Amino acid sequence: MNDMAKNLILWLVIAAVLLTVFNNFSVDSTPQTMNYSQFVQQVQNQQVRSVTIDGYTITGERTDGSQFQTIRPAADDPKLMDDLLANNVTVVGKEPEQQSLWTRLLIASFPILLILAIFVFFMRQMQGGAGGKGGPMSFGKSKAKLLSHDQVKTTFSDVAGCDEAKEEVEELVDFLRDPSKFQRLGGTIPRGVLMVGPPGTGKTLLAKSIAGEAKVPFFSISGSDFVEMFVGVGASRVRDMFEQAKKQAPCIIFIDEIDAVGRSRGAGMGGGNDEREQTLNQLLVEMDGFEANEGIIVIAATNRPDVLDPALLRPGRFDRQVVVPLPDIRGREHILNVHLRKVPLADDVKPVLIARGTPGFSGADLANLVNEAALFAARRNKRLVSMEELELAKDKIMMGAERRSMVMTEKEKLNTAYHESGHAIIGLVMPEHDPVYKVTIIPRGRALGVTMFLPEQDRYSLSRQQLISQICSLFGGRIAEEMTLGPNGVTTGASNDIKRATELAHNMVAKWGLSEEMGPVMYDEDESHQFLGGAGQGGKLKSGETTTKLDKEVRKIIDECYAKAKQILEENRDKLDAMAEALMQYETVDSTQLKDIMEGRQPRPPEGWDDPSGGASPSGGETDPEPAPSQDEDEEDDEPRRRPSDPLGGPAGS
């Protein structure tokens, strides 16, 4: 229902209310009513001075000056006029009202008008209402949402952690505000800007801030909104979107997840999606075809730039690619300051400490951290969010939620304690390994126990020594089980550790050239484009002899790391037992307690610890290992980096 219809209904309701009030409070001036017999009798008694006859209604005045009214029966009374004239009653006749020509036409045409109104109503509903969107007949219309310049409230002050990306797009704002500044020198603004970065880094927020700063209309649409089951719908929607944008120019069109419609053409195994390719062709033409779209800037966002069609990325379409990376420590601090403005904070909150302890977090992760901290504070009926809630939220995001309701036997708890202690001791002893942040045997997420390593600073690459240290620490849990339970007592809990260690060793040999035997050669086939029209083009075929050498070299690295880890644990058996005992007592051991254990001292109890038996015991039921993200992502420049603070899952059945 449009605004005009709503206003009409509102005025009709107001008129009805006013009419009711007027009728209730108006002065009753209706003349006295009597029946027809009384009227005839009074006429014959000469008590009536004058009458006015209006159809069946007779009104008049008596000789005493009072007014009266009566209704004449439907039966004819031919003697009435004789009685009136005989008794000297003045008779006045009233001309009957006749309807005007327009009134008669309106009454006659009302059924037809009603049918037409119903037909128009249903047609508009099928086309999606007043805006023409959402109905079954509107599949050819653009689904882009238009935000006017006063609706976009986001500015550059709301975006943090990507200063370089903000500098790249600031000139877009200058052009939209004052295009003559660039046109005087013959310069043209980029027609399209492609924002590339991992999920959650703020690409959409940055695009909205451009529209908010420039004070121009902002069209927002997702790449998946173009293509549907009908042939030609996507191309029609692209045309309609640019037609609407031309009417609002200068303006910004933002296409989120453009890889849904902009993938390389001819990319299917056995044939491509023709409808999607038609949509992409129309988008290419609209961005740089015969017709110029002056004043329209297309901003797109994706985390898969490698799958986009080359024609879409060429100059003239997307002239500029803006990388929005994961924030560094200063960027994380600025992002936290933005989100912490929305919650009441205690005096002990220090954003710099939180930023230092969250390497690899995206802006969305940090927003989630602040929200989780606020929820923790609300559960505790606090009025302020303190550092304690922020630390709890960080642990929950990095290691998973605690599952204290899970019942575990003492034997399983002890095995988990030795497993996690093995991980921690190897991580503390091996050179260039990330420091151990926390060890717990409280089930978190899908893991029975977690050992969390936290790097001291942001890390963008891995050395060979760091990789060797990681492989050694991954085997620490299995070796600790073997030392305490014997070869036949080793559990399946190390399955995920073995998988990650094997992947690291294989990548060292086949991808990263970190093997002296195999040399700096890429042996793995490039499978990133096998479903994008490039199957078999970038791959390398290996001979059987080469494959055998690769397997031997991987096994050599695994065996050396396994032996090194076993040697470390055997040399530190007393510390392994002490750490397992501390975990059985406290359930969670932090870095200060780990330092006490490694220096041969009794670990200090955690803050607020009173009764060792007062803590709830974790317990066991589910047996799936923690699927921790791998730490070997930095060899892929086009892949989003995982946060380097990945936990090692405890023993669990696989």
DSSP single-letter state for residue 433: P
pLDDT given for residue 556 in this prediction: 92
The closest of 573, 582, 569, 360 to 473, measured between CA atoms, is: 569
Choose the weakest-confidence range: 38-47, 57-66, 247-256, 283-292: 283-292
How do the residues of the chain divide into helix, strand and coil, expressed in percent and rounded to 5?
Answer: 45, 10, 40
pLDDT given for residue 62 in this prediction: 87
Q: Is the pLDDT score of 213 beyond 60?
A: yes
Instruction: Give mean pLDDT, residues 471-480.
Output: 91
Q: Is the pLDDT score of 344 beyond 70?
A: yes
Instruction: Give mean pLDDT, residues 128-137.
Output: 48
Question: Residues 407, 408, 409, CA angle at the centre, nearest 5°?
Answer: 130
Q: Is the pLDDT score of 411 beyond 60?
A: yes
pLDDT given for residue 627 in this prediction: 33
Q: Is the pLDDT score of 559 beyond 90?
A: yes
pLDDT tens track for 216-264: 788 888 777 776 655 567 778 888 888 888 887 778 888 888 888 888 8
DSSP single-letter state for residue 127: T
Residue, of 472 and 316, whose pLDDT is higher: 472
pLDDT given for residue 49 in this prediction: 86
pLDDT tens track for 144-186: 666 666 666 777 877 887 777 877 777 777 777 777 777 788 7
Choose the weakest-confidence range: 267-271, 288-292, 496-500: 267-271
Choose the weakest-confidence range: 284-298, 311-325, 413-427: 284-298
Choose the weakest-confidence range: 57-66, 189-198, 211-220, 327-336: 211-220
Work out the pLDDT band at 292, boundaries 50, 70, 90.
Answer: low
Q: Is the pLDDT score of 595 beyond 80?
A: yes
The closest of 248, 583, 622 to 419, measured between CA atoms, is: 583
Residue, of 623 and 445, whose pLDDT is higher: 445
pLDDT tens track for 358-390: 888 888 889 999 999 999 999 989 899 998 889
**Residue 272 · residue 228 · CB < 8 Å:** no
Q: Is the pLDDT score of 286 beyond 70?
A: yes
Instruction: Give mean pLDDT, residues 24-48.
Output: 75
Per DSSP (E only), the strands in 148-273 are: 192-196, 218-222, 251-256
Work out the pLDDT band at 291, boundaries 50, 70, 90.
Answer: low
Upstream peptide bond of 250 is cis (omega within 30 degrees of 0): yes
Residue, of 548 and 403, whose pLDDT is higher: 548
pLDDT given for residue 508 in this prediction: 92
Sequence length of the chain is: 654
Question: pLDDT > 70: what percent of the chain?
Answer: 78
Q: Is the pLDDT score of 211 beyond 80?
A: no
Q: Is the pLDDT score of 492 beyond 80?
A: yes
pLDDT tens track for 499-551: 999 999 999 998 888 888 888 888 876 544 444 444 444 445 678 888 898 99
Examine the residue annotation and report whether 635 is marked as an active-site residue of this protein: no
**Residue 92 · residue 81 · CB < 8 Å:** no
The winner for highest mean pLDDT among 35-39, 288-292, 423-427, 646-650 is 423-427
Q: Is the pLDDT score of 207 beyond 70?
A: yes
Residue, of 2 and 454, whose pLDDT is higher: 454
Q: Is the pLDDT score of 407 beyond 50?
A: yes
Judge if pTM exceeds 0.75: no
pLDDT tens track for 61-117: 888 888 888 888 877 777 888 778 888 888 887 776 666 777 778 778 878 888 888
What whole-number distance in Å separates Cα of residue 253 and Cα of residue 287?
11
Question: pLDDT > 90: what percent of the chain?
Answer: 8
| φ/ψ (deg, to 5) at 249 | -60, 145
Q: Which of 402, 420, 553, 587 is catalytic?
A: 420
State the average pLDDT for the chain: 77
pLDDT tens track for 430-453: 888 888 888 888 777 677 788 888
Distances (CA, A) of 23 to 13, 16, 17, 18: 15, 11, 10, 9
What are the CB-based long-range contacts (under 8 Å, 24+) for 278-283? 278/231, 278/232, 278/234, 278/235, 279/226, 279/227, 279/234, 279/235, 279/237, 279/238, 280/309, 280/312, 281/235, 282/234, 282/235, 282/238, 282/239, 283/238, 283/312
| φ/ψ (deg, to 5) at 207 | -65, -40
